[in-house]
């Protein structure tokens, strides 16, 4: 989404200076300390200072983290930005700030230092305001949901002999791939005209092997396929050929689940969790179902309903596509983002006058 935002801002005519503050080169490195990460902190600090001195930006959009170590680094870097007297907007891509600041005085201070001096914030869901409005008032929190380019060419049909059910996300335990497999195991006891696909990048080799071992030990290999990472046209073909999308994430920082709107753009009914703002995207009973992500039985029950009711699959899929077209396209994202920046520019103008 950072790349998408950069592209949209350039299209809107804004002059962009980009500093990549990522610390991990791959999924399995996220959250793991290393000398490279420690050395990256002063490098980023120098880049910020030099950017301010020589390029003089008028505003900063800062993608803020929520994990303890990452937020501590962000609090330090934001202190530098404040020292440079550069106004900044925080873009919140994760959740957990309110809970973190309740962990004691030190963490309350770190959250305060990171959040309280911001010009405002961009939130991905209306319900996410509560997570940060203890330090940023609601009137300075602007709702800008993620948006993606519309590429789908889904042809609705209820005549397929085999129902294809897709899980697509990074293979992180808390993103729910094992729960998906366990739900598949339950579903296959009753339905045989079903095919399950697990697609996504490995987080760790051991966990991916654990998923594979579960499939083999339960003799599910005729009905379940693991594809690994899929991107581009391959990903589009996979979405277009599927009938149901399942994303039972209980990741503690989950807010949006962009993969859900990708599936919606292809007219797929969604089975997902109530994490973050997902219930604002997946409306229970309208374009899918909200389930307990830690309950394979609940996930399997909802999958079963959609398998047995092809007309309901089609209706929910069409509803999802209409919701996508009205709220989550790249055009909608561009309009919302442009409006947010103009709003913050007005706040900044009033502060100076």
pLDDT of residue 152: 65
Whether residue 41 is contained in a domain is answered as yes
What angle do helix axes 232-241 and 258-265 make, rounded to 10 degrees?
Answer: 60
Query: 150: pLDDT confidence band, cut at 50, 70 and 90?
Result: confident
3-state helix vs strand vs coil in the chain, percent to 5: 50, 15, 35
- Print the domain residue range for 216: 163-327
- What whole-number distance in Å separates Cα of residue 140 and Cα of residue 121? 6
| H-only helix segments in the chain | 2-11, 35-55, 68-83, 97-101, 105-115, 177-187, 205-217, 232-241, 258-265, 278-281, 296-308, 310-327, 330-352
pLDDT of residue 252: 94
Q: Are residues 23 and 98 in the same domain?
A: yes
Q: Are residues 238 and 142 in the same domain?
A: no
Q: Are residues 118 and 209 in the same domain?
A: no
Q: Are residues 178 and 91 in the same domain?
A: no
Q: Are residues 58 and 135 in the same domain?
A: yes
pLDDT of residue 24: 63
pLDDT of residue 37: 76
Query: 158: pLDDT confidence band, cut at 50, 70 and 90?
Result: very low
Q: Are residues 170 and 89 in the same domain?
A: no
pLDDT of residue 14: 95
Flag the least confident range among 19-23, 38-42, 144-148, 201-205.
Answer: 19-23
For 84-111, the pLDDT digits (tens) are 999 999 999 999 999 999 999 999 999 9
Whether residue 157 is contained in a domain is answered as no
pLDDT of residue 1: 84
Q: Are residues 9 and 140 in the same domain?
A: yes
Q: Are residues 321 and 336 in the same domain?
A: no
Q: Are residues 209 and 318 in the same domain?
A: yes
pLDDT at 156 over 60: no
Whether residue 152 is contained in a domain is answered as no
Domain count, the chain: 2
Q: Averaged over 315-334, what is the pLDDT?
A: 97
pLDDT at 348 over 60: yes
pLDDT at 352 over 70: yes
CATH code at 223? 3.40.50.2000
pLDDT of residue 161: 75
Q: Are residues 296 and 183 in the same domain?
A: yes
Q: Are residues 170 and 319 in the same domain?
A: yes
Q: Are residues 179 and 289 in the same domain?
A: yes
């Amino acid at each position: 989404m950072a790349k998408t935002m950069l592209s949209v801002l350039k299209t809107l005519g804004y002059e962009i200076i980009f500093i990549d503050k990522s610390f991990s080169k791959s999924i399995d490195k996220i959250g793991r300390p290393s000398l490279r990460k420690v050395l990256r902190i002063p490098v980023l600090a120098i880049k910020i200072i030099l950017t301010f001195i020589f390029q003089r930006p008028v505003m900063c959009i800062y993608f803020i983290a929520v994990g303890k170590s990452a937020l501590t680094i962000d609090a330090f870097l934001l202190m530098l930005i404040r020292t440079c007297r550069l106004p900044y907007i925080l873009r919140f891509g994760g959740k957990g700030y309110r809970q973190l600041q309740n962990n004691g005085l030190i963490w309350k201070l770190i959250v305060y230092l990171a959040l309280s001096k911001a010009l405002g914030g961009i939130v991905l869901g209306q319900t996410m305001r509560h997570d940060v409005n203890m330090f940023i008032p609601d009137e300075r929190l602007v709702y800008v949901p993620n948006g993606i380019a519309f590429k789908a060419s889904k042809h609705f049909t209820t005549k397929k002999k085999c129902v294809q059910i897709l899980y697509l996300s990074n293979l992180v335990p808390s993103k729910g791939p094992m729960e998906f497999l366990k739900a598949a195991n339950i579903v296959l006891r009753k339905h045989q005209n079903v095919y399950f696909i697990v697609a996504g990048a490995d987080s760790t080799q051991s966990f991916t092997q654990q998923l594979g071992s579960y499939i083999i030990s339960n003799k599910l290999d005729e009905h379940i396929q693991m594809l690994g990472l899929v991107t581009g046209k391959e990903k589009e073909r996979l979405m277009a050929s599927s009938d149901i999308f399942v994303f039972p994430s209980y990741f503690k920082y989950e807010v949006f689940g962009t993969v859900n709107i990708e599936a919606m753009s292809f007219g797929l009914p969604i089975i997902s969790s109530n994490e973050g703002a997902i219930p604002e995207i997946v409306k229970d009973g309208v374009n899918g179902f909200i389930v307990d992500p830690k309950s394979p039985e609940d996930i399997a029950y909802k999958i079963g309903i959609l398998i047995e009711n092809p007309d309901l699959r089609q209706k929910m899929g069409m509803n999802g596509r209409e919701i996508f077209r009205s709220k989550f396209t790249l055009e909608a994202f561009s309009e919302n983002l442009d409006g947010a920046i103009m709003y913050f520019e007005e706040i900044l103008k009033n502060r100076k006058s």
